[in-house]
Structure formats: C-alpha cells, structure tokens
C-alpha cells in the first residue's frame, strides 16, 4: 500500500470516528423506569414506545427501559423523576398521592367502572385530560393513560363473602382510597412497594393482596396464594409521565415524533391489556396452584353493598365534584350498588 492510500485510510477513519461521536453527542437518552415484568401490559407498551421512538426519530432518541423495579422502587422512582435521574415513568394511578395529586385516587374507588368502555370515557375525555394537566405544577407532564385492568383479591383462604376478609392483613398501594376500601372489609391494610409483595406473601408478613391477574401471575404470586376471587372490584391503570423541563428541552421536531410514538404505543397498550390479563388468568388456572373463585350474584351484591360507602367517605379527599363528573360521564348510579 502506498503512502497516498494510507493517508486516505487515516482520513476516512478519522471522519467515521468524528461522525460517530457527533451522532452519539446528539443522541437523546430517555431512562424509563417501571416496576412490573416485561411480559405485562405496561412492560410490553414500554418496549413498544422504545422501538417506535427509535424508529420515528431515526435513532436520534434512545429509550432505555428498566423494568421490574431494577432501578427504583415505587416511591423512589417518583423522586428520581422529579430530580431528573430518570425521565419517564408510568406509575399506577394509585401512587400519585405522594406527588400531591391525590385526585388520581378517584380511579381506585371500588366498583366505579364496570368495564374498559366506561373507564375510557374518563381517560380519553376531558376529565382525564384535566387530571393530567394538574401535574404540570409539580414539574411533571402527563402524556397518556395506559390500561392494565380490573383487580382480583387473593389470600390463602377463599374470599367469597365480605365477612371472609375480617382480620386479614393485606398489601395495598399507597392510595388512601384503597386503605378505606380494605378497612370497609375489616382488613388491616399494609402499604408496601410492589417489589416486596411476593416475599411478604411468602413469609406471611401479609395474608393477601389485590392486583390484576397479569401482575399476579408475572410476579409469581400464584405460587404463594392459594385462592383468588374474580371480583373485578376496582381498576388499576397508569399515567405515563415525564420530567417537564427535560421534555420541553427536546427540540420541537424530535418531540413531535415522540408524541407520535406515545400515541401509537397508547393504542397498542390499551388494545393488549385485556388479552394479557385473560392470558395470565389462563396460566394461573393451568398452574393448579391457586384456586380461582367466581362470585355468585348475591355475593357480588354483598361486596358492592359493603364497599359503596367508600365513595362518600373519600369525597372530601378526592373532591365530590370530580366524583360526580365521573358518575355523569359513565352513567354510574351509586344507588344501584
């Protein structure tokens, strides 16, 4: 090889190295932390957002997803978002109280929604948008609602009548509405991070818990709970949130592509949520480890009767007007419970 060729080679290598550095320096990194398994509605939707964000921005944006409380547990992740250690989260709506946005606990009211259609009247409508807008004052932007599903109750004894709950210790998320719900059943509720639930059930620190089946199965709770009742007594879903200063600092053309990626991931999330929960239920049944219980109409009516008072009890905390506006949007009539 002559000197001229070697010279060209060196220049080419230097140019490639320079371009590589320029691209890396230009790349925007988004750390997205969450607490559930990858194989869940939220886990899959986060992966979808990662893929779409890369593809719509021609790899200008790199989303790093940290599932399963790998990076932060429930409470820490909210602090990390505010400090800018992570940029994106999708906490359960039951976990916004510590941010000073306790109105989100309205979604925890027992038997408020009968199905996803009623729920979407709120999350896709003006009430949902107004709730997300409240986060702005906390330095947070709410981008979307992602569904999980309806919660089931589990324990090591059958839970059929409200009286069956009396004296049990059950794990709940940090919501005061969930605290009131459990107390209305005579339960002693224990707030605990999601990552600690399996062990707490295994060692008997708590007797039972509530969650959609997708969470129950992917955290292997079916290995340590003998009974699960298909009660659908409440909803569990998420708001995808970002650090406001970070998000607004992203160049507008890139942000527009991220908004598109979020809109498409939201459609995906809310399409798969029900089927993921149905699949998980099938897997729990197949495992033979947890007996799945179905309520009779009379038993379901008794649960509703025991729990409806929580709506009234919590109206001071959440706001009677907000509760009424949801009743109106969904056609819910508390008199029918």
Residues in touch with ligand LMR (CB under 6 A): 35-36, 42, 92, 148, 173, 194, 211, 215
Pair of tokens at residue 284: 């729990």
* Nearest to ligand LMR of 225, 257 (CB atom): 225
CB of 291 to ligand LMR, least distance (A): 21
What residue number has its CB nearest to ligand LMR? 92
CB of 7 to ligand LMR, least distance (A): 58
* Nearest to ligand LMR of 148, 266 (CB atom): 148
- Do the Cβ atoms of 74 and 91 come closer than 8 Å? yes
CB of 178 to ligand LMR, least distance (A): 10
* Nearest to ligand LMR of 250, 272 (CB atom): 272
* Nearest to ligand LMR of 89, 307 (CB atom): 89
Angle of helix 41-56 relative to helix 252-287, nearest 10 degrees, comes to: 150
CB of 215 to ligand LMR, least distance (A): 5
CB of 56 to ligand LMR, least distance (A): 26
What gap in Å lies between CA 166 and CA 312, rounded to an integer? 22
Q: Read out DSSP for 47-86?
A: HHHHHHHHHHTTTSEEEEEE-TTSS--HHHHHHHHHHTSS
Pair of tokens at residue 64: 């790093």
CB of 35 to ligand LMR, least distance (A): 5
* Cα-only R_g, the chain: 23
CB of 157 to ligand LMR, least distance (A): 21
- Do the Cβ atoms of 241 and 142 come closer than 8 Å? yes
* Nearest to ligand LMR of 87, 219 (CB atom): 219
CB of 10 to ligand LMR, least distance (A): 53
Pair of tokens at residue 98: 């510590």
* Nearest to ligand LMR of 132, 250 (CB atom): 132
Nearest to 108 by CA among 128, 93, 130: 93
- Do the Cβ atoms of 171 and 192 come closer than 8 Å? yes
What gap in Å lies between CA 152 and CA 251, rounded to an integer? 43
* Nearest to ligand LMR of 92, 231 (CB atom): 92
C-beta neighbour count of 58 within 10 angstroms: 9
| CA distance to 1, 13, 196, 308, per residue, from 48 (Å) | 49, 35, 27, 37
Strands 169-172, 208-211: pairing kind: parallel
* Nearest to ligand LMR of 42, 244 (CB atom): 42
């Amino acid at each position: 090889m002559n000197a001229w060729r070697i010279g060209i080679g060196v220049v080419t290598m230097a140019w490639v190295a320079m371009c590589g550095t320029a691209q890396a320096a230009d790349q925007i990194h988004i750390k997205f932390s969450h607490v559930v398994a990858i194989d869940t509605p939220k886990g899959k939707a986060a992966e979808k957002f990662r893929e779409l964000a890369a593809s719509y921005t021609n790899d200008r944006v790199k989303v790093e997803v940290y599932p399963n409380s790998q990076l932060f547990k429930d409470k820490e992740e909210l602090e990390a978002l505010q400090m800018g250690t992570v940029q994106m989260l999708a906490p359960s709506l039951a976990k916004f109280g510590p941010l000073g946005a306790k109105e989100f606990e309205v979604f925890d009211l027992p038997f408020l929604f009968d199905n996803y259609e009623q729920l979407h009247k709120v999350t896709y409508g003006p009430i949902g948008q107004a709730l997300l807008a409240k986060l702005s004052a906390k330095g947070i932007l709410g981008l979307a609602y992602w569904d999980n599903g309806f919660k089931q109750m589990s324990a090591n004894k059958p839970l059929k009548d409200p009286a069956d709950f009396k004296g049990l210790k059950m794990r709940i998320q940090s919501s005061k509405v969930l605290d009131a719900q459990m107390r209305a059943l005579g339960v002693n509720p224990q707030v605990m991070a999601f990552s600690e639930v399996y062990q707490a059930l295994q060692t008997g620190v708590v007797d039972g818990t509530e969650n959609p089946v997708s969470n129950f199965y992917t955290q292997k709770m079916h290995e340590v709970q003998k009974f699960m009742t298909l009660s659908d007594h409440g909803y569990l879903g998420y708001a995808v949130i970002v650090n406001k200063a970070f998000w607004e600092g992203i160049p507008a053309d890139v942000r527009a592509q991220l908004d598109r990626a979020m809109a498409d991931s939201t459609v995906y999330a809310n399409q798969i949520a029900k089927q993921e929960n149905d699949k998980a239920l099938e897997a729990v049944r197949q495992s033979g480890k947890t007996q799945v219980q179905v309520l009779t109409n009379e038993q379901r009516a008794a649960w509703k009767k025991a729990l409806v008072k929580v709506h009234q009890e919590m109206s001071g905390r959440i706001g009677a007007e907000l509760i009424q506006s949801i009743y109106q949007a969904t056609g819910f009539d508390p008199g029918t419970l």
